[in-house]
Amino acid sequence: MTPARRWVLHVDLDQFVAAVEVLRRPELAGKPVIVGGRGDPTERAVVSTASYEARAFGVGSGMPLRIAARKAPDAIILPVDAPVYTAASEEVMVTLREQPGAVVQVLGWDEAFLGVTTDDPEAYARRVQEAVLERTQLHCSVGIGDTLVRAKNATDFGKPSGTFRLTAENWMEVMGDKPTIALWGVGSKISKRLAAHGILTVAQLASADDAVLVAEFGPKMGPWFGQLGRGEGSSVVDDTPWVAHGHGRETTFQQDLVDRSEIEQAARDLVARVLEDVVAEGRPVVGVGLKVRYAPFTTTTLVHKIAPTFERDTVLVETMKLVDKIEPDRPLRLLGVRAEMAMPDDARQGHTPTRSGW
């Protein structure tokens, strides 16, 4: 008999947002469904989720809604309904926490890590799938691994509604020839920087010279990327409640903004909404950021650290300093504002300012 040991399971709900919408409207089952923005492809918005039927037409998350509508002209396009998805997600997470001996680390609406001790992780994973389906009518895929990285990557091979095990024993066999972008934590920008050094595959990243990685990414991130290529890292599932580093809001303008006064007013409105989110946290703001997308689609991010403050006016003034850096007379497609907050440990280590502003 195989002895029980500690495993990491990554639970990922299949086409979550689209699946929730199909539960609300059973007549949509089997049809291409796209969820994004206000459900209007003539407006500027992006795809939040596409059903598998819509993905067959090449529709994917993050794609402009108007392009998605052209790719799948018969698709049903629905507006985002965040409260409904949040409620469905909470039901799933409650179900996961009810599993025997499970430690649950929530990653988002539709995914979580489970730390479990078992002699048969596949059987445990199937019981998780059955429990989630019975309670919520939602299907999920489960990746099984001996580290968080391997469990996360394993899920891709289990989709849809299946399981897959990825450990030190088969990591290189399964992942070695994959492009680096297939790794959790490697996006298009990082993969391009790696490619500039001739590092194209997971195997090449796993055996890359640390000196090369350090020179490109720094003394901390360089070795971390090498570790990622080997699938190594933590195997500890942490159920400590997630604490937001900050809050942000953004808006895509249906018509490009050029007028300076309109841009400044849009920034003020966003700051007000961000501060509504921040005030409930009870932590000082320590930095502000501005996301600017010029027409047709060039994005710039500006950030600025500030002395810890609870003062609304200070946050507004510091944000408007970033607004002053927006290129004049250049059409603006999107504007976003973010406020970074001190983390709880930071507040304990240093002086916490008075809360007179809030």
HEC profile of 227-253 = HHHCCCCCCCCCCCCCCCCEEEEEEEE
Q: What is the pLDDT of residue 1?
A: 63
For the four alpha carbons of 14, 16, 18 and 21, in that order, the dihedral sign comes to positive
What's the pTM?
Answer: 0.80
- Rounded mean pLDDT, 275-289: 91
pLDDT over 80 (residue 348): no
**Which percentage of the chain shows pLDDT scores above 70?**
96
pLDDT tens-digit series, residues 134-176: 999 999 999 999 999 999 999 999 999 999 999 999 999 999 9
Q: Can you tell me the distance from the alpha carbon of 175 to that of 230, in angstroms, rounded to the nearest whole number?
A: 9
- Rounded mean pLDDT, 294-314: 93
- Domains belonging to the chain, first-starting first, are 1-143+160-165 (3.40.1170.60), 171-229 (1.10.150.20), 246-349 (3.30.1490.100)
Residue 11: strand pairing partners: 112, 142
Which one has a higher pLDDT value, 280 or 205? 205
Which tokens is 61 given? 């998350």
Sequence-separated (6 or more) residues with CB below 8 Å from residue 25:
none
Q: What is the pLDDT of residue 206?
A: 97
Catalytic-role residue among 111, 216, 262, 276: 111
Q: What is the pLDDT of residue 242?
A: 75
- Rounded mean pLDDT, 95-105: 96
- Rounded mean pLDDT, 331-357: 68
Residue 281 among the catalytic residues: no
Q: What is the pLDDT of residue 351?
A: 39
Q: What is the pLDDT of residue 150?
A: 98
Angle at 197 between CA 194 and CA 203, to 5 degrees: 65
**Which percentage of the chain shows pLDDT scores above 90?**
87
pLDDT over 90 (residue 194): yes
Q: What is the pLDDT of residue 345?
A: 64
Which of 41-55, 112-126, 240-254 is most confident? 112-126
Which one has a higher pLDDT value, 152 or 356? 152
Q: Can you tell me the distance from the alpha carbon of 242 to that of 239, in angstroms, rounded to the nearest whole number?
A: 8
pLDDT tens-digit series, residues 212-241: 999 999 999 999 999 999 999 999 999 988
pLDDT tens-digit series, residues 34-80: 999 999 999 989 999 999 999 999 999 999 999 999 999 999 999 99
Distance between start and end Cα atoms, the chain = 61
pLDDT over 50 (residue 353): no
Q: Can you tell me the distance from the alpha carbon of 249 to that of 286, in angstroms, rounded to the nearest whole number?
A: 17
- Rounded mean pLDDT, 98-124: 96
pLDDT over 50 (residue 245): yes
